[in-house]
């Protein structure tokens, strides 16, 4: 075995890109536990296991957050006192970067166009959900922020909420652990529907008349549509829209609902293509659509392998 590549969710502000794992890199991943307590500890366990099992084999860390490190400050700073943001490293980090990067590079290959010149709105809809605005191959904004909790409504995560809700619940006697569990594991589609954290189950319940499931789908799609139009404006238009992740690839209904309000922009899904494109890659825009609409199954493993090869060999590959 020539090398091992690892997905690491949070690189903080320490890593602008993928990097060979050294004791110093391992230490910095550990130091970022506080920024990603639900992810980085398990990422580091996998790294340590691989180092023990394969001594001498180069290991590379590929970070979900590094893709977003070059976003403009206007996109990543929160309106908090600047000294607090800098002292405690509070900013929009962004997540699912590996997935969005792979999807955008794949889209460019499918469209036979360079990333430079493409204005892409990329939806990663799965257990976690995010959307990114990407111009000329570089993200200029993304929905997830300081943590993977913010942004879109997700299967068990709440997405954007008024911060005062946390303060209010704490005053009522909720502990921070109880609030953290509720926001991360009991909210989203599960909390709204009361049926399941699986979108397929919620859609089936809605089709049978369950009102809470209908509302859950409405709220999920409404949040995504708001981000779509926001990013469309920030990008100055979009010539490609991507759906990836388990829900994005497997749910024609969700794709339809998110974009059905974009017809006045000349962006339109072809109903027949949309219905047929399930669990596979495909183009689903109508012939007259002003933007290409692509369904691209997620495959972070390929991008992690490419990044690992590039770091170890010092080469770029196509």
Residues near 56 by beta carbon (within 8 Å), at least 6 away in sequence: none
Using 50, 70 and 90 to split pLDDT, how confident is the model at 111? very high
Q: Does 186 have pLDDT greater than 70?
A: yes
Q: What is the pLDDT of residue 120?
A: 98
Q: What is the pLDDT of residue 318?
A: 38
d(CA 297, CA 286): 20
Q: What is the pLDDT of residue 14?
A: 92
Residues near 184 by beta carbon (within 8 Å), at least 6 away in sequence: 38, 149, 156, 157
Using 50, 70 and 90 to split pLDDT, how confident is the model at 295? very high
Using 50, 70 and 90 to split pLDDT, how confident is the model at 38? confident
pTM above 0.85, yes or no: yes
Return the structure tokens found at 222: 């409404």
DSSP labels for 176-227?
Answer: HHHHHHHHHHS-HHHHHHSS-S-HHHHHHHHHTT-HHHHHHHHHHHHHHHHH
Q: What is the pLDDT of residue 1?
A: 86
> 91-100, 140-149, 307-316: which has the minimum mean pLDDT?
307-316
d(CA 210, CA 213): 5
What confidence tens digit (pLDDT) does each residue in 57-83 have?
A: 999 999 999 999 999 999 999 999 999
Cα-to-chain-centroid distance, residue 93 = 11
Same fold, 4-93 and 112-295: yes
Using 50, 70 and 90 to split pLDDT, how confident is the model at 317? very low
Q: Does residue 162 have an active-site annotation?
A: no
Using 50, 70 and 90 to split pLDDT, how confident is the model at 34? confident
Q: If you classify domain 112-295 with CATH, what class do you get?
A: alpha beta
Q: Give bridge partners of residue 241 from the DSSP assignment.
A: 121, 293
Q: Which residue ranges make up each domain of the chain?
A: 4-93, 112-295
Using 50, 70 and 90 to split pLDDT, how confident is the model at 298? very high
Return the structure tokens found at 250: 């497997």
Nearest to 9 by CA among 134, 199, 149, 106: 149
Q: What is the pLDDT of residue 37?
A: 85
61: helix, strand or coil: strand
Max CA separation in the chain (angstroms): 59
- Spot the catalytic one: 24, 48, 64, 270: 64
CATH code of 4-93, in short, is: 3.30.420.40
Under 8 Å between Cβ of 278 and 158: no
């Amino acid at each position: 075995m020539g090398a091992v590549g690892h997905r690491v969710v949070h690189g903080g502000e320490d890593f602008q890109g993928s990097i060979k794992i050294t004791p110093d890199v391992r230490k910095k991943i550990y130091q970022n536990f506080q920024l990603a307590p639900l992810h980085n500890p398990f990422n580091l366990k996998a790294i340590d296991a691989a180092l023990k099992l394969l001594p001498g084999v180069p290991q590379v860390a590929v970070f979900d957050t590094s893709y977003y490190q070059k976003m403009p400050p206007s996109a990543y700073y929160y309106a908090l006192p600047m000294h607090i943001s800098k002292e405690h490293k509070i900013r929009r980090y962004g997540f699912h970067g590996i997935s969005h990067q792979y999807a955008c590079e794949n889209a460019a290959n499918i469209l036979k166009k360079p990333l430079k010149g493409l204005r892409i709105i990329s939806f990663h809809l799965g257990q976690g959900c995010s959307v990114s605005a990407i111009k000329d191959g570089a993200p200029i904004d993304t929905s997830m922020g300081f943590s993977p909790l913010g942004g879109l409504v997700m299967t068990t995560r709440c997405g954007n909420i008024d911060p005062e809700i946390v303060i209010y619940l704490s005053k009522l006697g909720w502990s921070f652990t109880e609030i953290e569990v509720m926001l991360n594991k009991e909210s989203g589609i599960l909390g709204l529907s009361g049926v399941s954290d699986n979108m397929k189950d919620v859609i089936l319940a809605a089709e049978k008349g369950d009102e809470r499931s209908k509302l859950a789908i409405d709220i999920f799609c409404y949040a995504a549509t708001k981000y779509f139009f926001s990013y469309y404006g920030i990008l100055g238009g979009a010539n490609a829209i991507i759906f990836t992740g388990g829900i994005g690839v497997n749910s024609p209904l969700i794709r339809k609902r998110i974009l059905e309000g974009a017809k006045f922009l000349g962006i339109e899904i072809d109903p027949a293509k949309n219905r047929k494109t399930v669990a596979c890659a495909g183009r689903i825009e109508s012939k007259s659509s002003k933007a290409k609409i692509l369904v691209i199954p997620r495959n972070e493993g390929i991008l992690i392998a490419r990044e690992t090869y590039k770091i170890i060999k010092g080469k770029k590959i196509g």
